[in-house]
Structure 1
Amino acid sequence: MGLDFGTYHAIACSDGTIIDNPKFLANTQQKVEQTSKKLRRKRAPNFKKKIKASKRWRKARKQKSKLQNKVACSRQDWQHKVAAQIVSSNSLVATEKLNIKGMTRKATAVRSSRETRPHGCLKKDSKRKHQKTGLNRSLLDVGIGNLISLIKYKLSECSGVFVDVPLKIAPSQTCPQCGYKKKKELSERVHNCENCNFTADRDVAASMVMLNYAKGLGTSLSNADAEPLSETTQNCGSFRKVQQLKRQKPRT
């Protein structure tokens, strides 16, 4: 199966299945902001001035931590279920090799020339900064990096193969049926090929291109782009069961 990760759709599969973004953080963002506002109005601790935190500050901090932990646990539970669903029916998974750290990098201000700003101060571009902040929040809300790690981990238990598709393939700009390439804007959510008139969802078409690339490797799945995760099936279960198996003496 080919997978395409994003923020509009969390996962788009090559068979046409689309898994929507659950938006755990976005659904509780208002409550978190309200709790943070209450927390800022309370007396915070200051060790230099020997000021102790008030009971209301501790209560508000506990409420904020509870909300954040609930979001993290819900996201992790969803990621485990989705990864198990994908691996249960597929022994080969192909997806684009993404640089999550670079994609979620903080937006920086652009230094203007001395003609417009003689003191060399930073030019404020609040619109771009807010857009980048919202994009980073959406990417981290899905948890693409952790989701890919879970898929690799579950594939290793069933001797599956994980293929990293290089960026030079340009899956979102390529037609999966004829291979015709055309640059598309981010606002274009439907793939319409001018060469073969093939129509599909943009993310689904990209996942189909990734799957075609993985199938094209053929017998060279052990190359650099493909990662055979395990040669033998590993024992799954609790840590205690694994230790018991290790302590057993081999029968002669």
Structure 2
Amino acid sequence: MRTAYQYKLRPTTEQAIEIDRWLSMLCAQYNFLLADRFDWYERNRSPINACPLVCHIPELRDNPDYYSQKKTLPQLKKTHPWYGEIYSQVLQDIVKRVKVTFDRFLKGDSNGKRSGRPRFKSRDRYRTFTYPQIKDGCLQGNLITLPMFGIVKVILHRPIPDGFKIKTASVTKKADGYYLTLSLEDTTVPTIKPDFNPDSITGIDLGLKDFLTTSDGDVVPIPQHYRKSQKRLRVIQKRISRRKKGSSRRKKAQTQVAKQHKKVADKRKDFHFKTANSLLKKYDVVVHEDLNVKGLSRSMLAKSVHDAGWSSFLSILTTKAENAGLLVIAVNPSGTSQDCSSCGVKVPKKLHERWHECPNCKCSLDRDLNAAVNIKNRADGHAVLKAQRLRAQ
């Protein structure tokens, strides 16, 4: 099993300057390698699908793949000796990052979904470097030893579980300081899901009036962290517009805005984790709608959808369920709010109508509760649930 723990770093002033220096150099190398990829792409592609009888074919160049770009690193350290101060595997991770980014642009991810054209990074947008391999015992007490960097103080707010090995370490610069992310692995934890109770099941309907409603009638109110912080954000964003571009006072105001946004994001993330934990403690199977959140975030409800953070919550819920050996199922969302959960008759309702009244069976209940029951009922034919119920019999 793989998991990640994040800790706050307490570097000295000299170490903080060195981290910024590493990030600046790695950002420049990332942009150089990406430009090399784009140069190959522009030289070798044809903008049209046909050529005249007489044409001049330009000289084609070899594809700068992962291995050919890695071979340029020794020469880089000769021409730019200051890159020799950076750990070699950290530099190699930059090559891998460029490869993954460019492959998603040309070929797509594992689902075949292509990303947009990769962008060159400004210094402010390049915030992380990674050690893809790190030795056992690098963390001693509240100190971690980073190769070719030194010993840095860490705030261990929670201990690393016994038996877990540190596989990778990433240093990230955020608005309020520096953070260390450790990727942990424990081979003793089975990857096969243990037996769970297929009858301990609930459906959840995500909404903007309430964050979610379960099929048992439990309601989790929506916190609206961003909307509650808008007054504070408006004040400090005005400071930026009133200050001279490039001045230290403007940079200070920008830092205040970044810290406020991070505070909102941390509150939202904490709420998502606590909500997911409470659901998985009570139920073994959680069913939700397979929502097109990206499409909803472009509608007139965009601010509320982004503030709720449905995608982040569902990702956290799915990951925690897998680690606990439980199950999260996504079902088709079509008609969950319109169909009657008692008799199945379609009862058309506009968005502002929050109560379900069925003229056929006289079923009367809250619109979100009706949708949650429909979502739960749609999971009955799921293959994993069927197999688990047969095994229990």
The CA RMSD over aligned residues, in Å, is 1.9
2: CA distance, partners of 1:211 / 1:87: 15
**In 2, are the aligned partners of 1:83 and 1:147 still within 8 Å (CA)?**
yes
2: CA distance, partners of 1:87 / 1:151: 8
1:198 is displaced (CA, Å) by 1.2
2: CA distance, partners of 1:181 / 1:160: 32
Aligned to 1:213: 378
* Counterpart check, 1:85 vs 2:278: yes
Aligned to 1:30: 231
- Residue 210 of structure 2: SS of its match in structure 1? coil
Q: Which TM-score applies when normalising by structure 2?
A: 0.46
Aligned to 2:210: 9
* Counterpart check, 1:140 vs 2:306: yes
Instruction: Please identify which structure carries the higher helix content.
Output: 1
2: CA distance, partners of 1:167 / 1:139: 16
Aligned to 2:159: none
Q: Can you give the 5+ residue segments of structure 1 that lack an aligned partner in the other structure? A: 45-52, 108-131, 229-252
2: CA distance, partners of 1:12 / 1:82: 12
Aligned to 1:202: 367
Show the 5 A alignment for 1:78-117.
78-105=271-298
Residue 185 of structure 1 aligns with an amino acid whose one-letter code is K
1:167 is displaced (CA, Å) by 3.0
Aligned to 1:40: 241
2: CA distance, partners of 1:221 / 1:204: 25
2: CA distance, partners of 1:186 / 1:137: 17
Of 329, 334, 338, which residue of structure 2 is paired with 1:163?
329
1:36 is displaced (CA, Å) by 1.0
1:72 is displaced (CA, Å) by 0.5
1:175 is displaced (CA, Å) by 1.0
Aligned to 1:72: 265
* Counterpart check, 1:177 vs 2:342: yes
- Residue 329 of structure 2: SS of its match in structure 1? strand
Q: Can you give the 5+ residue segments of structure 2 that lack an aligned partner in the other structure? A: 1-201, 389-393
1:222 is displaced (CA, Å) by 6.8
Q: Report which structure shows greater RCO (CA 8 Å, sep ≥6).
A: 1
1:156 is displaced (CA, Å) by 0.4
- Residue 162 of structure 1: SS of its match in structure 2? strand
Residue 145 of structure 1 aligns with an amino acid whose one-letter code is S
- Residue 151 of structure 1: SS of its match in structure 2? helix
Q: Which TM-score applies when normalising by structure 1?
A: 0.70
Aligned to 2:248: 55
Residue 216 of structure 2 aligns with an amino acid whose one-letter code is D
1:10 is displaced (CA, Å) by 0.8
Identity among equivalent pairs (%): 31
**In 2, are the aligned partners of 1:91 and 1:158 still within 8 Å (CA)?**
no
Q: Deviations over 1:42-79 (max 9, x none)?
A: 112xxxxxxxx222212211211111111000000010
2: CA distance, partners of 1:12 / 1:214: 17
Aligned to 2:177: none
Q: Deviations over 1:191-241 (max 9, x none)?
A: 1111111111111110011111113x16x3379xxxx9xxxxxxxxxxxxx
- Residue 61 of structure 1: SS of its match in structure 2? helix
- Residue 4 of structure 1: SS of its match in structure 2? strand
1: CA distance, partners of 2:251 / 2:274: 35
Residue 165 of structure 1 aligns with an amino acid whose one-letter code is V
**In 2, are the aligned partners of 1:171 and 1:210 still within 8 Å (CA)?**
yes
